[in-house]
Structure 1
Amino acid sequence: MSRIVVLGAGPMGLAAAQRAVTLGHEVDLIEADSKVGGMAAHFDFSGTSIERFYHFVCKSDAPTFALMSELGVADRMRWVDTSMAYYTRGKVHKWGDPISLLTYPHLTLIEKFRTGLQMFLTTKSRDFDRIEHLTSRQWIERGSGKSVYDKLWKRLQELKFYEFADEVSASWIATRIKRIGNSRKSIFQEQLGYIDGGSETLVEAVAADIRRKGGRIHLRTPAERVIVDHGRVNAVRAGGHDYAADAVISTVPIPLVNGLIPDLPQDWKDKYAAIRNIGVVCLLFKLRKSVTPHFWVNIVSDDIDIPGIIEFSNLRPVGETIVYVPYYMPVTQPKWGWTDRQFIEEAFAYIKRINPDIGDDDLIDAKVGRLRHAQPICEPNFRDKLPPVETPIGGLQIADTCYYYPEDRGVAESIRLGRRMAEDVGNDRPAAVAASGSAR
């Protein structure tokens, strides 16, 4: 068995460490934060335990269900009838089922037919290889029409990807549509899931299983360098200490990899550097009133600079109304430098426009979270741009959320890839070599 060091205790790192220790390996899980979970970690929001960044479960998320069953928490899964909507021209319009499409007032009959047909065929597709060379704009305009793209999609993409809006992969968008579209109990009713107690229920169950099986979790321990000796990993230096390693699984954001592993060949460093990311400023509001009855509201309005809101309490009951407002953007945008107060004031003003019955006294609390590396820019043929998970350095595997492509970031994909990486340890060398070496 090998000594494995896993970098990053987000869902992928946790899944990798849990699978590795279950297989009998000696495991050290290194995490810079004060708690495990990454984007799925909870915090205390004025007495409510809530995820830092919103998460939901779809019916296709088989890796999540399998791990929950393995850990004995499968009975904590809950399913809720949910809905989405569009806010445009001053009104909220339900969206996501045939009746909502037919009654939507801002599309012609032909536009409705083409949109419905494209979305239906997308949910039935086995894969999207045939559109891999297209941008999302090209794909939507070919299927639904340019006017539909302009009415439903253009503003959303511009507010999430800014100057990269016309570079987003069709496969990436189509896979998101398929995942949500297939999470239904009928053609008329979307159904999404949450874990009772939130993502923390699963995160803490995984961490407890790692510790119970002898794995070690090191919090507040930022990784400093992967130490390489004669072309193989030898140790990880983190928090001023060296952790011996026969294998290293890195799940930290790709933009951090080159600084962490200076021994990588230059052509590999160039490939990692070419993968572009944007950041997110994610606001949470606790309110006394509901904004809408919908879980997700897309916003298409030239004078509102957010692509949507997620009313999380319409999925997981948490007492008061909880609303996430994500501002995705490249960190080069001037707005990235705004203060928390500026973001809160602007976003709350938008919430009050969506529901004029909400007043200043309905705001209980607001928090702001920031991530510099939140969303990879997945252009057409993005898979060809990714270096292999197995690197030229013996025993070293590297992946982050961009390796889920064409899937978007999600706990299920984190579990799937993390477990696979743990199972692949040792495939590049004889077992006798895997057991040798020591920290310097």
Structure 2
Amino acid sequence: MIRTFSTSLIRSQVKARFVVSSPRKPSLFELIRPTNEPTTSLDVPKAVVNLSIDTYRNENGQPWSLPVVREVEKQLALDEDLDHDYVDPQIGHKPFIEYSTHLLLGQHLGNVLKDNVVALQTVSATGALRLGLEFAVKVLGLNEAHLANPSWTDYGIILQNAGINRIREYPYWDYEQKKLAFESMAKTLKYAEPGSIIILQCGHNPTGVDPDPSQWRRLAEIVKDKDLVPFFDVTNIGLFSGDPQEDASPIRLFAELGVEFFVAQSFSKNFGLYSERVGNLLVVSKDPSKTREIKEYLVQLSRGLWSSAPLHGARIVGHILKTQYMREQWLNQVRMMFMRTQKSRNDFYKALMDNKTPGTWDHIIQSSGLFCLLGLSEPQRNYLFRKHNVFIAPSGRINVCALTNDNIVEVVRAVDDSVRNS
């Protein structure tokens, strides 16, 4: 005879056991305390103007799916030969790895360095950073890293979780002059310990300002002379200047000068594939005889982080980059996104000037990409939020794509009021 059980009886018995046992054995989690993390964009009510968003938005303030990405998704959906088997457990989706690496190094330099480069598909750039840093700690024995001040806020978490014991800062932004503090940056890095990791960005977040070509060369010479270890974070390639070749030029410079380095590459912003977590880790070594061992260690470490990288987004990116007419469509659409950010900057700057808002605002049009460090103080940002429902990230960063024709007048009036009256 098959026994049947009353679900209500089961629930009452489970509840009874829990109630009886609770006084004798405190919860495992009772000592957890609030994190006291600052307010983020996820905490902001939708009714306010949220300038802290991290993603590209179109002129209507909405997420934008690139038409070329939509086209490939339709093709993949109709391909009955595709399956959902695991990708290559060694490196990931091979076409994606090949063409995303060429996007960074260029085809010529990529071919020249093919025996010196190890590339591995990752869970976006965050996964690439974590994997590369864990390799640096556990395999290379490195334990000191230098971060720009200011930097993307999650770097500290990633560095600590990877096992970096000493985290230093180097000056990057002159808050008074509202410009790159390159001389202070260069002077500080000259005193960094040999073997220190230097986190660098192509398309700096949050300032929107990068070194110019001559400054990048000076920085590469300091890195080479001091035996430092650059780790590039590349999340905006194509969106910073409108040209992926130009945005990747610092990485190619370091490679041409014989510097060994890491690169974390993301395709979230420039392909609009945020939730697909498409990333690539590049390791460039001077010693081609060691690339096999580098790859083996990276694969071993990645197994403990995500086992196998997601395939769908990598298929999309790989297909677009290897197909000439689709690549050209993508380049045009990236250029459109760049032009949208530049127009937003110019409109915002002009409106502040027309409004005669006190302060210096030239840095808005002197920066590039999605982000800009606006320069408001904490009291001014709090006033902006409390009185006008306009939210800026605690770092002071804004995303210029959050500005639209529908809200820019409101935002300018709010900024003007906060500068004058807070």
Would the TM-score normalized by the shorter structure come out above 0.5? no
Structure of larger gyration radius: 2
Scaled by the length of structure 2, the TM-score of the pair is 0.24
The structure whose residues are more often strand, as a share, is 1
TM (norm. structure 1) is 0.23
